[in-house]
Structure 1
Amino acid sequence: MESQGAGQASELNAKSIEILGEADPEKYPLQPKKHSLEFLREIAHLRMRTNTFGAIFRVRHALAFAVHRYFNDKASSIFIRLSSRDLMLKVRVRHSKSPPLTLAILQKNTDGSVDFKQDFFERETNLTVSGQLEGELAAMALSEIYTFGPTFRAENSNTTRHLAEFWMIEPEMAFYDAEDNADLAEEFLKYLIQYALENCQEDLKFLESRLIEEESSKPTDQRSELNLLDKLKFVVDNEFVRITYTEAIDILRNSNPNKKKKFQYLIESWGADLQSEHERYLVEKHFKKPVILTDYPKEIKSFYMRQNEDGKTVAAMDILFPGIGEIIGGSQREERLDVLTARMDEMNIPKEEMWWFLDTRRFGSTPHAGFGLGFERMVQFVTGMGNIRDVIAFPRTPGNAEF
């Protein structure tokens, strides 16, 4: 029936009640009061019963559906989903402060080396952080593919923007150059956000009201300039600014004319890696639009990125969003065998172990490109949550795999 109370559209007028799952109200962790997000992480198996996490996971579902719908329905292309997965078969180090945990510790050769013939795959097998290289192989045959699956981060990044286990979306496209890659990434991000705005309005308004309450308790100079819905529309309604890494460095170095300390990490020289505070300054203060940064120094990027004609930079890109910094990273891939092998030699990457990857250049290649979108970071942006651990059901982070 129609509700007479505030804040709800309908209510139940029960004639009888049958208790199906009894719980002791004195011991039940979720009491009828406001709980902190930190406390709810300690009971992650129950937190989805709260209004906040119900809203988050409905939005997450909608975004996951929108990913597949975008690639399936894209009129000008036929994207094939590739079920590529990372391998995580041997744990070498559990935590930076823990002793090594080698599963093959008793499997030794007579010279003391590990006998990998006793392992499941009969060789040393390590985890990787993406399915990109396998995606490239498929793109050379199928033209356009995408992966969407769990990945693992081996670094000890204990921040509000990183997880040890997360989901990654990685399209790889043959015949794409760096500009095509940026065009697709911008269109893709806008599509996902627009889908959420159209299909999750009630949940987004609820999350926005929660964030407004949180912001009101902060000092004025620490409050966000945009509410959640305004921030989402900010991305959808603006063309992304495109600048090179070199232009960004000039902007950042000239942003401090009075020599007052604006950044925690100062930009000392060309070639420095940008921090989140630099990325957010470009988006939120300087341009006031999402930014696509291109043409990074080759020394701070991966060996497989296509080298530009200047010999110093590669055709890489990062897309920067307000409040979160980098949300997408990608590049045009190096399709020239001689350039690729020379770069591998420079970086001491053993070509013998990458023979299968080099075969895709040796036996016919084409210009191609791709990017990666961390799904949890996308959900974090759309829901406005301050910690990425609150947008995945059971967060695994350095030193924590409780559930």
Structure 2
Amino acid sequence: MLKKPFSRVYSFGPTFRAEDSHTRHHLSEFYMLEAEVAFTRSLCDVIKWIEGLIKCMTFAVLERCSSDVQFFFKNSKSAKLEWGADLHKEHERFLTEYFNDVPVFVTDYPAAIKPFYARDNGDRATVASLDLLFSDVGEVCGGSLREERYDFLKSKLEQLNLCKSLEWYLDLRKFGSCPHGGFGLGFERYIQMLLGLNNIKDAIPFPRYTSSCKL
């Protein structure tokens, strides 16, 4: 909603997800940087914003805190995948290793595994979405172009039987919108990548995860 009076907006704060995940890459509460930019129809624009953000943050940290990064840094070093299935950690690891451990953008995911608000590519099968993968850590950032076309969005919500509960969201498109895109960056995963940490729980002072706070 803020993208209408402001062409670029962002937020940074805690995010909670009640996922029963017992891995070194998941937390129940983590910090997320989310951004939205208006008047774009290109997923490449979103990729450029993410790339610029990652480079800017990393250069700043390495310039100001290089000794701290060196202190933390550690050297460390496939399952079958069918169309329509989401990527698992072993797939993400394969992709980054295949490209010599450089960050990799994966784009245009199957529509069925992405949120309803991701913009349809026109083939009714894929959406203009992306994930940024880093070696060993996996997904650090995810984003997409947002579906601003009322008819497309209404059709998606009807298929999901969500028109009534998300009528307010549909009205945002019904009464005017603009092409836009955005992304979310998991801050602890970025810290995990930057410092070469083996476990994401070491990237936050008081980690919250499944079964860690029994009453």
- TM-score when scaled to structure 1? 0.51
Structure 1 partner of 2:114: 301
Aligned residue runs from structure 1 range 3-402, under 5 A: 137-177=1-41, 178-208=43-73, 211=74, 223-224=76-77, 263=78, 265-267=79-81, 269-286=82-99, 288-349=101-162, 351-401=163-213
Q: Percent identity?
A: 46
- Aligned partner of 1:54 in structure 2 is none
**Aligned partner of residue 33 in structure 2, secondary structure:** strand
Shift of 1:395: 0.7
- 1:153 positional shift: 0.6
One-letter amino acid of the counterpart of residue 372, structure 1: G
Q: CA deviation at 1:401?
A: 2.5
Aligned residues: 214
For 1:167 and 1:315, locate their aligned partners in 2 and report how far apart those are by CA, in whole Å.
Answer: 25
Which amino acid letter does the alignment assign opposite residue 374 of structure 1?
G
Q: Say which SS state the counterpart of residue 188 (structure 1) adopts.
A: helix
TM-score, length-scaled by structure 2: 0.94
Per-residue deviation, 1:287: 5.1
Equivalent position amino acid for 2:10 in 1: Y
Q: Match of 1:181, as an amino acid?
A: V
Cα offset for 1:356?
2.1
- Contact 2:132/2:139 (8 A) holds in 1: yes
Letter of the structure 1 residue corresponding to residue 211 of structure 2:
G
Counterpart code for 1:361: R
Tell me how far apart the structure 1 counterparts of residues 150 and 83 of structure 2 sit (CA, whole Å): 28
Q: Classify the secondary structure of the residue corresponding to 1:385.
A: coil
Q: Give 1:303's aligned amino acid.
A: F
1:112-155 residue CA offsets vs partner (Å, 9 max, x unmatched): xxxxxxxxxxxxxxxxxxxxxxxxx1112211100100110111
| One-letter identity of the residue aligned with 1:180 | D
**Deviation for aligned residue 1:288:** 4.2
Cα distance in 2 for partners of 1:198, 1:286 equals: 26
Query: Structure 1 residue 289: deviation in Å?
Result: 2.6
AA matched with 1:381: M
Distance (Å, rounded) in 2 between the aligned partners of 1:153 and 1:395: 13
TM-superposed deviation, 1:196: 1.0
Larger of the two Rg values belongs to structure: 1
Q: Could you list the runs of 5+ residues in structure 2 that have no partner in the other structure?
A: none
CA distance in 2, matches of 1:401, 1:293: 35
Q: Which secondary structure does the structure 2 equivalent of 1:202 belong to? A: helix
Instruction: Classify the secondary structure of the residue corresponding to 1:151.
Output: strand
CA distance in 2, matches of 1:161, 1:289: 19
In the superposition, relative to structure 1, how do residues 391 and 289 fare at CA in structure 2: closer, same or farther (>3 Å)? Answer: closer
Q: 1:354 to 1:308 in 2, by over 3 A?
A: same
Q: In the alignment, what sits opposite 1:94?
A: none
Distance apart, 1:397 and its partner CA: 0.5
